[in-house]
Structure 1
Amino acid sequence: MESNNYSNVTFDYDYSDASNEIYPDFAEPYFMYVMTCIIISIGLPLTVAAIYSLYSQVQNNNVAPIYIINLFISDIIQFCCMIVLVAKPDGKIYEIFFYINFFGVMASVGFMVCIALERYLGIAWPLWYRFRSTIKISLAVCVVVWTLPLVYVLPYYYWVDHRVKNTISYVFLLVPFPLLIFFLGGTLKSLSAAISVSSDEKQRIVGMLVLVLLIYTLLFLPSIIWYLVGEDRHNDTFSKLTFILLRFSPLADLILYIFIRKGAIDKLLASLCCCRMDSDDKSRSSA
Structure 2
Amino acid sequence: MTYVIISIGLPLTLVAIYSLYSQVQNNNVAPIFIINLLISDIIQFCYMIIKVTEPVDLKIYRIFFYIYCFGLVTSVGFMVCIALERYLIIAWPLWYRFRRTIKISLVVCVVVWTLPLVYVLVLHFWNDHRVTNTITPVFLLVPFPLLIFFLGGTLKSLSAAISVSSDEKRRIVGMLVLVVLIYTLLFLPTTIMYLRAETTDKYEFSMLFAILLRLSPLADLILYVFMRKGAIDKLLASLCCCRMNSDDKSRSSV
Q: Please, what TM-score do these two structures have when normalized by structure 1? A: 0.78
Answer yes or no: is the 8 Å Cα contact 2:170–2:236 preserved in 1: no
RMSD: 2.1
Alignment of 1:82-121 (within 5 A): 82-90=48-56, 91-121=58-88
Which residue identity is paired with 2:137? Y
1:48 is aligned to 14
Given candidates 125, 131, 143, the residue that maps to 1:158 is 125
1:223 is aligned to 190
User: Could you give the per-residue CA deviations for residues 12-48 of structure 1, whole angstroms, max 9, x where no partner exists?
Assistant: xxxxxxxxxxxxxxxxxxxxxxx10000000000000
1:96 shift after superposition: 0.6
Given candidates 64, 77, 98, the residue that maps to 1:131 is 98
2:157 alignment partner, SS class:
helix
2:151 and 2:24 map into 1 onto residues whose CA distance is 24
User: Could you give the per-residue CA deviations for residues 138-193 of structure 1, whole angstroms, max 9, x where no partner exists?
Assistant: 00100110110001111110125766655433321111000000000001111122
Quick check: which has more Rg, 1 or 2? 1
1:44 and 1:268 map into 2 onto residues whose CA distance is 26
CA 59–188 in structure 1, closer or farther in 2 if over 3 Å, else same = farther
1:80 is aligned to 46
Greater percentage in helix: 2
1:68 and 1:87 map into 2 onto residues whose CA distance is 29
Q: Which moved more, 1:119-128 or 1:177-186?
A: 119-128
Answer yes or no: is the 8 Å Cα contact 1:60–1:135 preserved in 2: no
1:40 and 1:268 map into 2 onto residues whose CA distance is 28
CA 54–196 in structure 1, closer or farther in 2 if over 3 Å, else same = same
Given candidates 133, 138, 141, the residue that maps to 1:171 is 138
Q: Which moved more, 1:107-116 or 1:226-235?
A: 226-235
1:67 aligns with 2:33: yes
Alignment identity in percent?
79
In the alignment, structure 1 segments of 5+ residues that lack a partner are: 1-34, 271-287
Runs of 4+, deviation exceeding 6 Å: none
1:63 alignment partner, SS class:
coil
Which residue identity is paired with 1:247? R
Q: Which moved more, 1:173-182 or 1:224-233?
A: 224-233
1:213 and 1:41 map into 2 onto residues whose CA distance is 26
In the alignment, structure 2 segments of 5+ residues that lack a partner are: 238-254
Answer yes or no: is the 8 Å Cα contact 2:93–2:161 preserved in 1: no
Say how many residue pairs are matched.
Answer: 238
Alignment of 1:15-30 (within 5 A): none
Q: Which moved more, 1:68-77 or 1:159-168?
A: 159-168
User: Could you give the per-residue CA deviations for residues 70-124 of structure 1, whole angstroms, max 9, x where no partner exists?
Assistant: 0000001111110011111121111111111111101100000000001111111
2:115 alignment partner, SS class:
helix
2:221 is aligned to 254
CA 208–261 in structure 1, closer or farther in 2 if over 3 Å, else same = same
1:268 shift after superposition: 5.6
Answer yes or no: is the 8 Å Cα contact 1:215–1:249 preserved in 2: yes
CA 45–75 in structure 1, closer or farther in 2 if over 3 Å, else same = same
